[in-house]
Structure 1
């Protein structure tokens, strides 16, 4: 099959409404750009108004046809807490009557261990718990949109190849799993522990998409939920990560063998817009896709019977406790 080309292969998206989280740079920017260029109304989520307005300016400079169209909007979304993620989703619900595409693109790369004020690890909150809250708060609108004639509603979650090697002890049956240091106190910020936490959080992305699809199917809702690995992409985040490990001098060499952000966005754009994905829904829904739009094999842990359901239920319990008490 020829590689999906977003410029020529994305169908007309006029009338459809999309949210792209983390849209100010990298994969998010490229995704928002292609959706807008093909007619969608796109909400760009960023952590500040200044970043959002700058992103809109750059998109309009790249495609002057977007100016004055009123199809580029911004939404403040801070994935550092459950409360902030819920607030952003509720604001969107006040502003729009439909939602066709949700691209869960924003996340956090491997870093030092820290707990949020709500009592969960920052990397698990940014990559899974807050996006879970954002998506599930929007789910009633997504479901309502899916009932309209001629719609094609999809939820795409950006995971990572790192999800394929999570800690084998991962179980997602207590809040400890959302506070996991993945190492001893003395080595909590060593590279091994940092990447173990990241892998566990990205595993949660794959499990979330899988379980969401199971629940949608059980309810008879024709929404597609898909997780993807974009490839090894030379984003600013990747550059900062390499610098953080003290080997920034290798970036010029490493970046040559990585995908560009435009190439990295191909798989999520394929999952979000390709008519083939809807035509062959049974092949793609609930799956984990790898470049470029191929159904991949998630890790043995991700395939463990019942684990996706355990994660969903644990996340719901954590969110309920945070909403009620402010922390777990």
Structure 2
């Protein structure tokens, strides 16, 4: 469970981004279709702002349609208006309730025949003991089980895009965290505790992020044959709404010492979504802030993937959502 101090510091204080909105040519994504979960605020909203001039169709998914409509209005009022503005569409999706996942995918598939990039960006920090509508530990339920079901339901559109899109451009982006290195149990996921009540917020959050890395790795194996790329990125330590339940003095201290503006997390996501470094040869990779392909800094977590724990976690997630398809 040990990780080096350098591994942590290199993620706490990354070098300058090498892939930014300037690397995405205006109008270059006309005809492409994207989904960004948690797009009404924070990293997701910053990512939408970066992509707005590209001409893509962007579905902004959230559990609050009101917040999504407000975010769409905010982005659409950009001045000066881009020559090729993206088409922004709302999509209701509550990742804490599996009953909403298939309808969300159905709403999307009724309008689109392709999906080029799916960013699993939505992230939550729940108090210990919080569970989803289906009784799952809230972090693992909302970060892993529901997103995997959502992806499963969107596979026809992802596969359709991969048949015609440029090689390696159809991607699924999962979201990790430095908490994998700092707080996850031995092997990343303690399978003996997955079904037990949650008691430690940092640990539970870290388990869900290790789970995202497992799903990205396993997804690369299962979906690579279709030409789909699946990677996991740590967006970095950022000042977003995820800190809303923390004490103000603690957040102020973090902002001084560790937290960056949320747009930096969007740089990491841009890299994961568009950098040529992400390709068939790096499928399943982990990405550090603000866009660097490097392995997870915990040998035991890497070994867990080698030992088949990613497959085991995938199958556990499938059992949890099977009745909702």
* TM-score tier (shorter): 0.7 to 0.9
Distance 2:92 2:32 in 1: 21
C-alpha deviation, 1:161, in angstroms: 0.9
Cα distance, 1:3–1:121 mapped onto 2, change above 3 Å: closer
Selected match of 2:308 from 300, 306, 309:
306
Selected match of 2:175 from 134, 146, 158:
158
Is 1:167–2:185 an aligned residue pair? yes
Q: Which 10-residue stretch deviates more, 250-259 or 7-16? A: 250-259
Correspondence for 1:214: 221
C-alpha deviation, 1:110, in angstroms: 4.3
C-alpha deviation, 1:291, in angstroms: 1.1
Correspondence for 2:196: 180
Q: Mapping of 1:230-241 within 5 angstroms?
A: 230-238=235-243, 240-241=244-245
Is 1:98–2:114 an aligned residue pair? yes
Selected match of 1:316 from 307, 315, 318:
318
Partner of 2:67, secondary structure, is helix
Deviations 1:67-94 (A, max 9, x none): 9957111101111121212221121111
Selected match of 1:128 from 144, 156, 172:
144
Corresponding residue pairs, total? 302
Alpha carbons 1:302, 1:308 under 8 Å: kept: no
Deviations 1:93-129 (A, max 9, x none): 1111111010000021142213334231122111111
Structure 2 gap ranges (5+): 1-14
Alpha carbons 2:145, 2:318 under 8 Å: kept: no
Partner of 1:15, secondary structure, is coil
Cα distance, 1:115–1:291 mapped onto 2, change above 3 Å: closer
Runs of 4+ in structure 1 off by over 4 angstroms are: 66-70, 169-174
Correspondence for 1:3: 17
C-alpha deviation, 1:254, in angstroms: 2.1
Q: CA RMSD in A?
A: 2.3
Correspondence for 1:252: 252
Alpha carbons 2:57, 2:88 under 8 Å: kept: yes
Structure 2 length-normalised TM: 0.86
Structure 1 length-normalised TM: 0.85
Is 1:89–2:105 an aligned residue pair? yes
C-alpha deviation, 1:147, in angstroms: 0.6
Selected match of 1:228 from 223, 233, 239:
233
Correspondence for 1:267: 268
C-alpha deviation, 1:25, in angstroms: 0.7
Structure 1 gap ranges (5+): 183-187
Correspondence for 1:31: 47
Distance 2:211 2:270 in 1: 21
C-alpha deviation, 1:44, in angstroms: 0.5
Partner of 1:106, secondary structure, is coil
Cα distance, 1:68–1:269 mapped onto 2, change above 3 Å: closer
Alpha carbons 1:17, 1:42 under 8 Å: kept: yes
